Amino acid sequence: MAGRRRVSGSSVVALCLLLASLVACGGRTTADPVRAEVQRVLDQRAAAVLGHDRAAYAGTGSEAGFGNLSAVPLAAFAYRVTDVDRTGDTATAEVRLSYRVEGYDRGPVTAGRTVRLGRDGADGPWSVESDRPARDAGQQPWDQGVVRAVRGTHSLVLGVGQSTEALRGFADLADRAVPAVSAAWDGDWARRVVVLVPKSLEGMAGLLGSPASSYRGIAAVTTGETGGRERAPADRIIVNPDAYGLLGSLGKQVVLTHETTHVATRTDTTAATPLWLSEGYADWVGYRGTGRTPAQAAPELAGAVSEGRVPDRLPTDDDFGFTADADELARAYEGGWLACRMIADQWGEDRLDAFYRAVGAHDERAGAVEDATGEVLGTTPEEFTARWREYLRTEFG
């Protein structure tokens, strides 16, 4: 057709090279040399951590932190630079740290870090001056001091400011919790846990990147990076030693078993799962086989029911807020536990597990409990609530 001509392959290549050079001259796709240099230094630093090479670590800058994390059994440790702000011979890099604990993490823990670097002169190499949690990011255990590690049969306990003997006690509790959870939960899970034991409540809050007031009176929490329904890569049980230390031997075991249940059920716990179910199920596993009666394990709810104040609904997520009234929070946990206990008693333990999975299989909260109640339990949410209220009257009568 008139006005068209065929462009040869060599012409196309020449044109592409010309365009590429023009773009490069504009500076828009040229790699930032400082960012690349910082990445190279951090790659060397990470390799030194994995290789337990103090000299190589010191060669990248400050030695701070090297001895703190040397006891942590790492399978992977890497930095990825996301941004660099340079002013003369100083630079601040925003970095994503990712690491895996050998034998325990299916996927990496990731954390934001702010790394400050300096160099001597325009041509000098960059070296690390500090490596700290990014704004609003939680600390890592080694940010708080020297980490001690104790291995159990099914557990790894990492502690700061704790004796080896104390950490061994946590490992023993976790080693009893894992088989107890496996006996109740029929889903697939790693059957091992990582427990972090900081020196104090403030240390716990630092690991979580939250104010200490948010966790005062909370004995332990479980946190993890969910990897979708296929895997739960890196759960951590984080202990508040101040509150945990006030518990008796049974209470300590119940708490560790409760938190281990959260690890086991992680892949089946989604945005569709209400807290009354996730927390209630974890308490059900925690108390399973202990011989504790409802009146013993749920004193706040028992008192309310005995006074004629039978709740007219299952606990909502808002009822589980850590800033809620302590008695209301206790009744929320107790109510969720007794709902799960009722399912196990009246429908069977296998049906309770199936109900938990069916709720979590939904993509969103709306309709999740309603559908699972009908499909797994063969009833309606209204009938279920009525049975639960009657169950409370019976158990506390």
pLDDT in tens, 335-379: 999 999 999 999 999 999 999 999 999 999 999 999 999 999 999
Q: What is the pLDDT of residue 190?
A: 92
Q: How many CA atoms lie within 13 A of 88 on its CB side?
A: 3
Mean pLDDT computed over 257-271:
96
User: Going by C-beta distance under 8 Å and a sequence separation of 6 or more, which residues neighbour residue 248?
Assistant: none
Mean pLDDT, the chain, as a whole number? Answer: 91
Both 160 and 122 in one domain: the answer is no
For position 28, what pLDDT does the model report? 40
Distance CA 90, CA 315 (A): 53
- CB-based contacts of 250: which residues, under 8 Å, 6+ apart? 290, 292
**Same-domain status, 275 and 327:** yes
- CA dist 82 to 32, 38, 93, 112, 391, Å? 12, 11, 7, 10, 55
Domain boundary pick from 211, 235, 265: 265
- Which of these three, 137, 163, 181, is where a domain ends? 137
Containing domain of residue 347, as a range?
269-397
Note the pTM of the prediction, 2 decimals: 0.89
Helix (H) or strand (E) holding 243: helix 241-244
Instruction: Say which CATH number the domain at 46 has.
Output: 3.10.450.50
Pick from 137, 161, 193: which residue ends a domain?
137
Query: Residue 119: its pLDDT value, please?
Result: 96
The verdict on residue 122 lying in a domain is yes
Q: How confident is the model at residue 174 (pLDDT cuts 50, 70, 90)?
A: very high
Domain count, the chain: 3
- Region of 32 on the Ramachandran plot (φ > 0 left; ψ -120 to 50 alpha; else beta): beta
The CATH code of the domain that includes 158 is 3.30.2010.30
- Model confidence at 245, pLDDT cuts 50, 70, 90, reads very high
CA torsion sign for 193, 194, 197, 203 is negative
14 lies in a domain? no
Partners of 110 in beta bridges: 98
- pLDDT for 72 equals 98
Indicate whether 11 belongs to any domain.
no
Phi, psi of 192 (to 5 degrees): -160, 155
- Is 13 inside any structural domain? no
| Confidence grade of residue 324 (pLDDT, cut at 50, 70, 90) | low
User: Given this model, what pLDDT does residue 123 score?
Assistant: 86
Grade residue 10 by pLDDT with cuts at 50, 70 and 90.
very low
